[in-house]
Amino acid sequence: MATLELRNVTKRFGEIIALNDVSFTVEDGEFFVLIGPNGSGKTTLLRVIAGLVEPDSGDVIIDGVKVNDLRPSQRGVRMVFQDYALYPHMKVYDERRFANLNFPLKVRKFLKEDIVKVMSNVARRVGVEKELYPRKPDQLSAGQKQKVAVGRALAIEPKIFVLDEPLSNLDPLGRLRVRDEIRRIHREIKAATLYVTHNLPEAMALGDRLAVVNRGAIQQIGPPREVYEKPANEFVSVFIHSFDLPVRPV
Ligand code: ADP
Ligand code: MG
């Protein structure tokens, strides 16, 4: 159980301002969606939260404690990367060796019997079937890789769960299925969750609240309906209506 707060986070890459004075709080147990076009700074923000990128200024605060100086593994933040970032030379799961699903437990030197216990729970939760265990990532479909990546992130119970565009490599049906699964998993683990997407229907379906970001700056924060019905500025309005289906005369 935890809250995540960002306070005035700014990050530049040379001339580019990837994050421009970003502040918001994700409440305990909340499903918070960050939505914005490509290049708006979403991945950079997740990397700052996870401790993989150092901000130029501003603070990351977890449960009221500033974590800027903590290493990624000490923050209690578990991340699912956009490209899954599975270890290509490792199997999905192997009781005795380092493998993709149990990697975080092996690193922390969990005993074998504990790994078996935790993993059977994790594999059930994300729906990784036993027949996938001996496979390497290049023998998995996008949907299966996705499940392994989510399972790995959940192997250590997260305080803060962050996901970077987890549906973007799936076909439309796969998206619907995994979307429902992510919602169910969130209900089970109840961790503060920050979910990144550029897709409005996904954001509307999943988010307790949305934050719309453009060029590294937060444009609006609110419940999905409110953002949809009362866009705070022209950018939000145009962005949101870019998802309307075109109606053409036949
Ligand atoms: P998003 O995830 O919303 O597509 P990113 O956070 O990946 O956006 O990128 C935001 C901006 O920062 C982009 O202009 C991108 O090119 C730039 N950027 C991200 N990471 C780096 C980096 N390591 N070096 C230089 N520029 C970067
Ligand atoms: Mg990105």
- Counting runs of H as helices and runs of E as strands, what totals does the chain give? 8, 10
CA gap 59, 7 in Å, rounded: 5
DSSP 51-79: TSS--SEEEEEETTEE-TTS-GGGTTEEE
Helix axes 112-126 and 142-154, enclosed angle (nearest 10): 130
CA gap 9, 59 in Å, rounded: 6
Ligand 1 test: best mutation among 15, 44, 213, most atoms within 8 Å of CB?
44
- Which residue's CA is minimally distant from atom 16 of ligand 1? 39
Please answer whether residues 147 and 126 qualify as being in contact, where contact means their C-beta atoms are separated by less than 8 angstroms. Answer: yes
> pLDDT (tens digit, 9 = 90+) per residue, 55-65?
999 999 999 99
Report the alpha-carbon angle 149-72-31, nearest 5: 55
Of 94, 95, 148, 90, residue with least CA distance to 123: 148
For ligand 2, the distance from its centroid to the CA atom of residue 52, given in whole angstroms, is 14
> pLDDT (tens digit, 9 = 90+) per residue, 91-137?
999 988 999 999 989 988 998 899 988 888 888 888 899 999 999 99
**Distance (Å) of CA 211 to CA 5, 73, 96, 223:** 13, 26, 43, 9
> pLDDT (tens digit, 9 = 90+) per residue, 140-191?
998 899 889 999 998 888 899 999 998 888 888 888 888 888 898 899 888 9
The C-alpha R_g of the chain, in whole angstroms, comes to: 19
Of 142, 188, 123, 191, residue with least CA distance to 162: 191
Q: Are strands 4-13 and 57-62 parallel, antiparallel or unpaired?
A: antiparallel
> pLDDT (tens digit, 9 = 90+) per residue, 3-35?
999 999 999 999 999 999 999 999 999 999 999
Ligand 1 test: best mutation among 16, 35, 81, 214, most atoms within 8 Å of CB?
16
Task: Give ion ligand 2 contacts, CB < 5 A.
Answer: 42-43
